[in-house]
Every structure is written in C-alpha cells, then in structure tokens.
C-alpha cells in the first residue's frame, strides 16, 4: 500500500461529518435512522479517502467510523424467527432460501451476474454498492447495477433493488455462504479496499457468515485483513442469539 504525504485538506471529511452529525443530533437522536445513515455515508467517504491515500491516519479514522456504525447496528438489532433460513454448517454456514406464499420472485428475470476477480471488471464502479452472494466455491457474484441510495440507507420493506433480489444471483437457487451489499475501492491497478455488509432480507445471514466473505475477499483481491471492513446486521457477539 503506497503512502502519500499528509494533505492539508485530509481532515475536511471529518469536519464535514462532525458538523452534519451535530445538525442531525439537534433534530433526532444518536439511535435514529438518520444518525445511522449519516454515519454509514461518511464511513464510505472515509474508506475511499484512506484507500486513495494509503494514509495510516486516514485508515484509523475509517476503522473508527466502522466501529461506530457496527455499534449502531447492534443497538438497533431486533431478533426475529427467520424460519426460512437453514444453517447447514455453523462454522461455515450455507444459507438456503425457501420461497413462501408471501414472497414471489419473477422466474422470467435472468439478471446479468458478474463473478469478481482481482482484475477490475468494467461493469463494476468503485464506491458504488452492489448486491452480492458468496457461493460455497468462494465465488463472489454481484448484480452489476448499483443499489439506489434510498434502498441502501432507507430501505422500504419490499425494496426491490431495480427488480433484483439476492436469490436471483444464486445459480439455480443453490445455497450460498453469505449475502449482502458490497462496495469496492481502488483504481486502474485493482481493488485496494472492500467494505461489505450482511444485509439480506431473504437469506437473513447470521453474523458468522461475514467471516466466509472476509476470507473470499482476501483470496479474490489479494487484500490484507485491515483493508476489508464489514458490518454484520444481526446481534452483537455478546448476545445469546449470536451465530458465532
């Protein structure tokens, strides 16, 4: 990872975030959806700056913001039955989605699916979010249409992400290891950082499923662990219902 000299404007995103946070807190609370959305938006900005500069200070800020976002997700978690999830292996879970009468997926839709490699794919833009699933063979499959910001930060109960849902990405409806949203950072030389989460209303991945995706990112992009930031959408490790 290359390092560059300190930039006088390197603290600008931090100052912008702190100002915006003060404005949000005057109207809402730290536990509000607005506060969580703001924190996540700036997490992506911080990671992008850190990936571009290679600055140790920038990476420390990015990880600090990641930890803040994770605590917000844990604080807002509400357990549910998720009866359509079948965990076949608690150490490396395979998640099997089973359709119900209330969820009908259009069988005629066959979205383009991209298997990510170390070489950047022209259809995938950096700093955009994409739906992903991880196969048992460690292939990261994504739908090459960015997730709209509204669906990303303020999802409707049946947000359709341009008509595509996670089960559409699984070959033949096969089980997957993890599912969620993925954001890549880098340049023409390749991917230099990854941020992902485990948000999938269909698969409801347990927190431990993020570990499989983390390892797949290391293998696929040749990244060190400190360049892979992820957020789990389930309970915190201290909760009795935690998956790992």
Find the mean pLDDT for residues 128-154.
89
Helix H segments across the chain? 12-27, 33-53, 56-76, 149-153, 166-169, 209-221
Quick: pLDDT tens for 29-84. 777 777 888 889 999 999 999 999 999 999 999 999 999 999 988 887 766 545 45
CB–CB of 155/122 below 8 Å?
no
Q: Which residue has the higher pLDDT, 104 or 187?
A: 187
| d(C-alpha 98, C-alpha 240), whole Å | 26
pLDDT value at residue 244: 30
pLDDT band, residue 10 (cuts 50/70/90): low
Quick: pLDDT tens for 149-168. 777 777 665 555 567 888 88
| d(C-alpha 237, C-alpha 212), whole Å | 17
Question: What predicted TM-score, i.e. pTM, was given to this entire model?
Answer: 0.84
Domain boundaries, the chain: 12-76, 114-231
């Amino acid at each position: 990872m290359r390092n560059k000299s300190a930039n006088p404007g390197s603290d600008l995103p931090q100052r912008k975030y702190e100002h915006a946070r003060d404005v949000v807190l005057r109207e809402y609370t730290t536990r509000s959806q607005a506060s969580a959305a703001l924190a996540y938006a700036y997490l992506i900005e911080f990671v992008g700056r850190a990936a571009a500069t290679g600055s140790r200070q920038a990476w420390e800020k990015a990880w600090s913001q990641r930890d803040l976002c994770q605590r917000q997700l844990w604080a807002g978690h509400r357990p549910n039955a998720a009866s359509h999830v079948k965990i076949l292996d608690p150490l490396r879970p395979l998640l099997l989605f089973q359709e119900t009468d209330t969820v009908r997926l259009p069988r005629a839709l066959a979205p383009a699916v991209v298997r990510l490699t170390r070489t950047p794919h022209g259809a995938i833009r950096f700093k955009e979010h994409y739906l992903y699933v991880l196969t048992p063979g460690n292939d990261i499959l994504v739908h090459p249409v960015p997730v709209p910001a509204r669906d990303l930060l303020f999802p409707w109960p049946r947000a359709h992400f341009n008509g595509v849902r996670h089960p559409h990405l699984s070959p033949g409806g096969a089980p997957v290891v993890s599912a969620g949203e993925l954001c890549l950072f880098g340049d023409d030389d390749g991917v230099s950082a990854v941020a992902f989460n485990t948000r999938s209303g269909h698969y409801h991945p347990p927190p431990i499923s993020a570990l499989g995706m983390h390892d797949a990112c290391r293998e696929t992009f040749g990244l060190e662990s400190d360049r892979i930031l992820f957020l789990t959408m389930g309970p915190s490790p201290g909760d009795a219902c935690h998956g790992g």
